[in-house]
Chain A
């Protein structure tokens, strides 16, 4: 595809439910990132996948958050037992994974609203 795609674009859920967000990176990009962006705030790093290496999960805010990526393709971010403070836009980005000069390309994001 031409760019990073994410689905759904909007998700409204009830507190306590689980949600799954999907990211399709640019073909050939080995690196994939998830970020959270609360309204009017900056980007909060969540997790980083690079090829077949163990992911960097240092940004995940709690054990309710998890993410998977199969090879160098689709990634899913799962939030279990959602809370109202999880409401945010979740952005996915991918890059070639080159060390030292690696531009990230972002998807449009998924806007999550927890009622």
Chain B
């Protein structure tokens, strides 16, 4: 299985600013991607997904961008709020199952 035993990269932003969280995926055949948010003491929760036939998808205050050429996924959060502080994981669909990236810890400063 994948080894994700690394300490998480962190991103610190000021409240009200926009946040961009990046993820590099490994399998060029992956055709479906998800961003999850994990708050302290809780399991990951679905935020937004995107299929490989799209390069952008917008939700409420969140946008996911997909660049298949360089196998890169990003999550943009507009007007970041203190409640957005969490760990964010990207996941890629690999055939029959999903695999997760290492995650990024987002801290929002008041």
Contact = CB atoms under 8 A, between A and B. Distances in A.
B52 to A, nearest CB: 9
B59 to A, nearest CB: 14
Interface residues of A, number: 32
Contact of B8 (A40, A100, A109): A40
Interface of B: 1-8, 31-32, 34, 36, 42-46, 49, 51, 87, 89, 91, 93, 95-103
Most B CB contacts (10 A, CB to CB) among A43, A48, A60, A102 go to A43
Contact of B4 (A43, A58, A105): A43
8 contacts: A31-B97, A42-B100, A43-B89, A45-B4, A45-B99, A102-B97, A104-B91, A106-B44
A59 interface: yes
B73 to A, nearest CB: 15
B51 A101 contact: yes
B45 A41 contact: no
Nearest to A48: B97
B101 A42 contact: yes
A101 B34 CA distance: 9
Nearest to B100: A43
Interface of A: 4, 31, 33, 35, 38, 40-46, 48, 50, 56, 58-60, 91, 93, 95, 99-109
A58 to B, nearest CB: 5
Given A42-B8, A105-B46, A56 B97 contact: yes
Contact of A103 (B5, B6, B49): B49
Nearest to A38: B5
Contacts of B91: 104
Contact of A44 (B4, B36, B43): B4
A106 B31 contact: no
Contacts of A60: 1
Contacts of A105: 46
Given A101-B93, A102-B97, A104-B46, 8 more contacts: A41-B6, A43-B103, A56-B96, A60-B1, A91-B43, A95-B98, A103-B49, A106-B36
